[in-house]
Amino acid sequence: MTELTDRTKAHYLASGGALCPYCGEWNIEGAFCETGEGSATQKMFCSECGKSWYDIYTLTDIEEDNKL
């Protein structure tokens, strides 16, 4: 597959980002996250098919740091 479709995006999201949205393999890696106001992006790579894409994260919650 050479492009993302609504169906492949939905399958990728349902897998929790564990499977390549192009070839379905598990061998994916992520680069560093770039953060902004309420969101972050991370470039992802598949070692099997060589494709790359960006995961987009949004702020959904916070929790207290009780390490003090």
Domain-by-domain residue ranges, the chain?
6-58
Q: Answer whether 39's CB lies under 8 Å from 56's CB.
A: yes
Q: Mean pLDDT over all residues of the chain?
A: 92
Question: 26-43 burial string, b = 16+ CB within 10 Å, else e?
Answer: eebeeeeeeeeeeeeebe
Label residue 67 by pLDDT band (50, 70, 90): confident
Prediction pTM value? 0.82
How far apart CA 47 and CA 9 sit, in angstroms, is 19
Looking at residue 1, its pLDDT comes to: 57
Question: Could you give the percent of the chain with pLDDT greater than 90?
Answer: 85
